[in-house]
């Protein structure tokens, strides 16, 4: 199961810019099925927990402030080879380096406000999905 799933969230810059629908359309057109979806907002503390792996990085506090600044749309997605294929679909962290046609190339504002998150491994996809969704919601 885990190898066919990934976790994503549309970040505050893209939600507030009204790009949620356009981004979900690209995700579905790329063959991903939506398993779970919600609109929510993180507190700075919850954002800090989600990005705890980055707590020694210089941008950590700024990232937590940004990620709690508005609504986000977390989702669990399903597709063969989901983690790798989704990282390709969203493109590089820095939108200036993201391939044309990728979600970050099309919608990201900066290396921080980069429109969307994608899990980097099957293990993290499962952990991150469970951060936002109960077992009952992950049918």
CA distance 120 to 114: 16
For residue 112, state whether it binds ligand ATP (rule: CB under 6 A). Answer: yes
Indicate the residue among 33 and 88 with the shorter CB distance to ligand ATP: 88
For residue 121, state whether it binds ligand ATP (rule: CB under 6 A). Answer: no
Strands 116-118 and 73-78: unpaired
Q: Out of 48, 95, 118, 129, name the contact with ligand ATP by CB under 6 A.
A: 118
Q: Taking Cα atoms as reference points, which of 136, 134, 135, 114 lies closest to residue 8? A: 114
For residue 15, state whether it binds ligand ATP (rule: CB under 6 A). Answer: no
How far apart, in Å, are the Cα atoms of 58 and each of 44, 63, 82, 92? 16, 9, 30, 19
Indicate the residue among 85 and 112 with the shorter CB distance to ligand ATP: 112
Binding-site residue positions for ATP: 11, 59, 87, 93, 104, 114
The binding track of 50-79 with respect to ligand ATP, each residue x by CB under 6 A or -, is ---------x---x----------------
Could you count the other beta carbons within 10 Å of the beta carbon of residue 2? 13
């Amino acid at each position: 199961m885990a190898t066919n799933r990934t976790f994503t969230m549309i970040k505050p810059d893209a939600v507030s810019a009204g790009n949620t629908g356009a981004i979900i359309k690209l995700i579905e057109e790329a063959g991903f099925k939506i398993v779970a979806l919600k609109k929510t907002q993180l507190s700075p503390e919850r954002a800090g927990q989600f990005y705890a792996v980055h707590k020694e990085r210089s941008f950590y506090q700024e990232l937590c402030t940004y990620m709690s600044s508005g609504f986000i749309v977390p989702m669990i997605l399903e597709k063969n080879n989901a983690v790798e294929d989704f990282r390709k679909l969203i493109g590089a962290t820095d939108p200036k380096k993201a391939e044309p046609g990728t979600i970050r190339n099309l919608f990201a504002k900066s290396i921080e406000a980069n429109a969307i998150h994608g899990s980097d491994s099957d293990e993290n996809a499962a952990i991150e999905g469970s951060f936002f969704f109960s077992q009952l919601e992950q049918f």
